[in-house]
Amino acid sequence: MKRTWLLFSQTVTILLAAYFVVATLKPQWLDRGAPMGGVSVIEAPAGSVQRGASPIGGFAAAAKQASAAVVSINTSKAAAQNPNADDPWFKFFFGDQGSGEPQVGLGSGVIVSASGYILTNNHVVEGADEIEVILNDTRKAKAQVIGTDPDTDLAILKIDLDKLPVIVLGNSDALQVGEPVLAIGNPFGVGQTVTGGIVSALGRNQLGINTFENFIQTDAAINPGNSGGALVDVNGNLMGINTAIYSRSGGSMGIGFAIPVSTAKQVLEGIVRDGQVTRGWIGVEPQDLNPELAATFGLKPDATKTGGVIIIGVLQNGPAAQAGIQPGDVITAVNGKAVGNVNQLLTAVAALKPGTPAPLTVLRKDSQTEIAVTPGKRQRPKLQR
C-alpha cells in the first residue's frame, strides 16, 4: 500500500512539473483543441484580422489585401489657348504664343468592381482630357468617366482590363473614434504608399469642402496625390475615400478627411444605375437653433436643449409648404433619424427618395408632431462660367 501511494504521488508530482514547464515555455500547446466552454471567444475567419486588433507583423496583411485594388491616376488637360493667338496683329505684337504645355495632375483611386469601376475624387479628374490608370501590378489603361457628383466630390471611372483586384467595402457607420486605419495612395507621385493612424473624429462637417459633408477625420498621413485613395480598417476593408487635408504648408499635418464608404456606395449605385445621383429636396430655409432664434419665433427658452434645426423660411408651393411645414417649426428628425444641425438636415433630406412620403418629427410651439412630407428632386446647381 505504501509503495502504491508513493508511486502515485511521484507520478502526480512529475505531471504537475511538466504542466508548469509547458505553460511557461509553450503556452500555445495548451490551447490546441482546448474546449471553449466557459469562455466566450469570437474567432476571425481564416486569413483575416480581428477588427481593432494589431496582429503579429503589424498591418501587413491588411495593407497587402487592400493595396492591390488601389490605383494611381494620371490626368492631362490641354493648355488653354489665347483666343487671339491666330490673329496676325496679336502675333506681331506678342509673338507666336504656341499651344503651351498641357496641364497634368495626379491622384489615386480604388477598384470597387471586377467590371472595372473605380471610385475617386471629382477634383482629381475634373476637366481632364485624358485619364490614365496605373495598377499596382504595373498594368496601365485609359479610363472613361462614367459620372461625377460634385456635391460629394466623388467620381466613377471605368477601365477595360481582366482579372482586376477588387477591394472589400466595409461598414463605415460602425467605425469608432480611436480605431486604427491605413491610408493608401500615391502621394507626390512617388508610388504607392501606406501610412497608418487612427480615426480622430467622425461626422466632420461645415468645412466648406463639399455640399454634403460627413467626413471621417484621421491622423494617418495624407498628402497631395493621396486624393481618391483608400482609407481601410485592419481587415483591409474600405472605410472611406481620402479627400482633403488641413495644412498650412501643403503637406500632412496629421489632419486628413475621408468620405465614408456609406456615402460612396450611394453615389456609385446612383451613377451606375441611373447615370446620376438623385437626391431629395423639400424647399425650406433652415438655420441652426439658438436661443435668439427660439425667442424670435416664440419658442420656450429650453427648446434649444431638445436639439434640431429651425425653419426660418418655406418655399411657396414647395414640398414642405404643401405638407404644412411653417416658419418657426423645429425639425428634430427626418425619417426617424435625428438631426442636430443644418448639415445633418441637408444630408438626411438628400437621402430621401423623391416622390415617396417620409415622416419629419417637428416641434411647433409647445407640441411635437410628425408630418409626412413628399420630397421633390434636388436640382444640381448650374455651373458658373
- Residue 329 is a catalytic residue: no
DSSP helix/strand/coil, 234:
coil
Top-confidence residue, 80 or 125: 125
Nearest one of 232, 218, 242 to 109, comparing CA atoms: 242
Domain with CATH 2.40.10.10 in the chain: 172-274
Nearest one of 227, 194, 214 to 125, comparing CA atoms: 227
Give the Cβ contact number of residue 314 at 10 Å.
22
DSSP 320-341: HHHHT--TT-EEEEETTEE--S
DSSP helix/strand/coil, 240:
strand
- Residue 153 is a catalytic residue: yes
Q: How far apart are CA 185 and CA 169, in angstroms?
A: 17
Q: Which of 149, 227, 233, 329 is labelled catalytic?
A: 227
Q: How far apart are CA 379 and CA 204, in angstroms?
A: 25
User: pLDDT-based confidence at 34, cuts 50/70/90?
Assistant: very low
- Please answer whether residues 156 and 147 qualify as being in contact, where contact means their C-beta atoms are separated by less than 8 angstroms: yes
User: pLDDT-based confidence at 304, cuts 50/70/90?
Assistant: low
**pTM for the whole thing?**
0.70
Q: Is pLDDT of 35 > 50?
A: no
Nearest one of 106, 286, 276 to 187, comparing CA atoms: 106
- Please answer whether residues 55 and 49 qualify as being in contact, where contact means their C-beta atoms are separated by less than 8 angstroms: yes
Share of the chain above pLDDT 70, in %: 73
Q: Which of 72, 123, 219, 233 is labelled catalytic?
A: 123
How far, CA to CA in Å, does 129 sit from each of 102, 105, 139, 266, 275? 10, 11, 21, 26, 20
- Residue 151 is a catalytic residue: no
Strand partners, 163: none
Top-confidence residue, 290 or 200: 200
Mean pLDDT of 290-303: 73
One of 3.90.226.10, 2.40.10.10, 3.30.2350.10, 3.30.450.20 is the CATH number of 172-274, namely 2.40.10.10
Give CATH superfamily name and number for 280-377: PDZ domain (2.30.42.10)
Chain centre distance of CA 73: 19
Q: Which of 67, 72, 108, 153 is labelled catalytic?
A: 153
Please name the residue that has the C-alpha cell 448650374: 382
Q: How far apart are CA 301 and CA 16, in angstroms?
A: 72
Domain with CATH 2.30.42.10 in the chain: 280-377
User: pLDDT-based confidence at 48, cuts 50/70/90?
Assistant: very low
- What is the DSSP secondary structure assignment for residue 356, as one 8-state letter? S
Average pLDDT taken over every residue of the chain: 79
Q: How far apart are CA 273 and CA 368, in angstroms?
A: 38
Q: How far apart are CA 255 and CA 243, in angstroms?
A: 11
